[in-house]
Amino acid sequence: MHHGDTLFPNNDGVDIQFPTSYQQIMERIARIDPIKYSKTRNFINGAVTYLSPYIARGVVSLPQIREVVLKDYKFYQAEKLIQELAWREYFQRVWQSIGNRVLNDVKQQQQRYKHYKIPHAIVEANTGIEGIDLGIQDLYRTGYMHNHVRMYTAMLTCNIAQSHWLLPAQWMYYHLLDGDIASNMLSWQWVAGSFSSKKYFANQENISKYTGSQQVKSYLNNSYEQLAESDVPEVLHTTTIPVLQTHLPQGDTLSLQAQLPVAVYNTYNLDPLWHANDTCNRVLLLEPQHFEQFAISDKVLTWILQLAQHNIQQLQIFVGSFQDLQQQVKVQQAGAIWYKEHPTTQHYQGVQESRAWLFPEVQGYFNSFFSYWKKCERYIR
């Protein structure tokens, strides 16, 4: 196995790996079959790409994936895949437009919630719904959860157990290798009905079908109308507030080459191609204040650091605020500071560079994905 691989078997016997070598990541992109993807992506053993951690961490860009796929397939064959990539870009545009308001109910208040905690049974993967419990166990072991299972977990937490979405969304983000503030927070809100026109429900039959579970009897074995009106099941009554803390590393004592620019990376920009041919200082900035607000687990942090050090040469790690880093740069008389535009870098100062977008022409806030997608469609062909 390649050095730095993360390998975990999941419950259906398929190995989910998230290698940290760029070459293996590129091979993963080359293996995408968009036809199979569009037919099977809703099943947990479907032909999904397993690229989300690399997209979220800025190692690969959405246009990069589209380009590779369209070399071998026609647009109509890849349309569903490209549309799903566009969902991710849509969430990024919303985040870019409204910033930290993604942490509040965006469109309307969540209806019918009882508390701001999370059911103990969710955290313990002990809800009695097999397809969901196995998914949560997988999340803890692998740092990954299939998108459909994320929806089921959020549905059970917000709409059946009647929790407000924010703390549960933070809990899931904590454990995800692909933790993306926009995709995660807005998807939870979409399920809870605060970023959509209605709440999302799934019954036992639906969950068993897509998770491959044999379960028939459960408190979710009801019509959608009944589920929407039902009381909180006994098993979901006990609530908890999980401790979500980031344990940041020591960080390096920076040694910067004078007069050379400083390229600043963070956990959302680990792009190995960024200024790859330029001579510059390379610094991964880990800001304690960011991780107090958006905590990640030891497993996620370890994997991110492996990913960064594996692919970005002579990378130094700086733990502190951007202002602290700026001070260091001044003291050591290095050149300009370069960074990429992103909601997490709005307080940076220096030379801001653009991210790569699928649809750079379509900017701003859209009230729904489909109004956004309509705009994108004119730039597709």
- Residues 54 and 85 both lie in one domain: yes
Instruction: Among 174, 208, 240, identify where a domain stops.
Output: 240
Domain that holds residue 283: 262-349
Whether 148 is in a domain gets the answer yes
Looking at the fold, whether 275 and 331 belong to one and the same domain comes out as yes
State pLDDT tens for residues 58-82.
999 999 999 999 999 999 999 999 9
Q: Are residues 41 and 140 in the same domain?
A: no
Same domain? For 76 and 203 the reply is no
Contact 242, 157 (CB under 8 A): no
Handedness of CA 74, 76, 78, 84 (dihedral sign): positive
For residue 364, the domain's CATH number is 1.25.40.80
- Mark whether 53 and 111 lie in a shared domain: no
Residue numbers in the chain where pLDDT is lower than 50 = 1-14
Burial 134-162 (b: 16+ CB within 10 A, else e): bbbbbbeebbbbbbbbbbbbbbbbbbbbb
Q: Which of 206, 240, 274 is the last residue of a domain?
A: 240
Count the Cβ atoms, other than its own, within 10 Å of residue 352: 14
CA-to-CA distance for 303 and 305, rounded, in angstroms? 5
- Which of 202, 187, 103 minimizes the C-alpha distance to 150? 187
How confident is the model at residue 115, as a pLDDT?
A: 98
Say yes or no: 57 and 122 in one domain: no
Is there a domain that residue 133 lies in? yes
Residues 228, 131 within the same domain: yes
Q: In terms of domains, do 224 and 139 share one?
A: yes
Which pTM does this prediction carry? 0.95
pLDDT at 15: 58
Task: Return the pLDDT at 381.
Answer: 65
> What CATH number is attached to the domain comprising 221?
1.10.579.10
Largest CA distance in the chain: 68
Provide the residue type at 195 as one letter.
F
Q: Is residue 245 part of a domain?
A: no
Same domain, yes or no: 231 and 109: yes
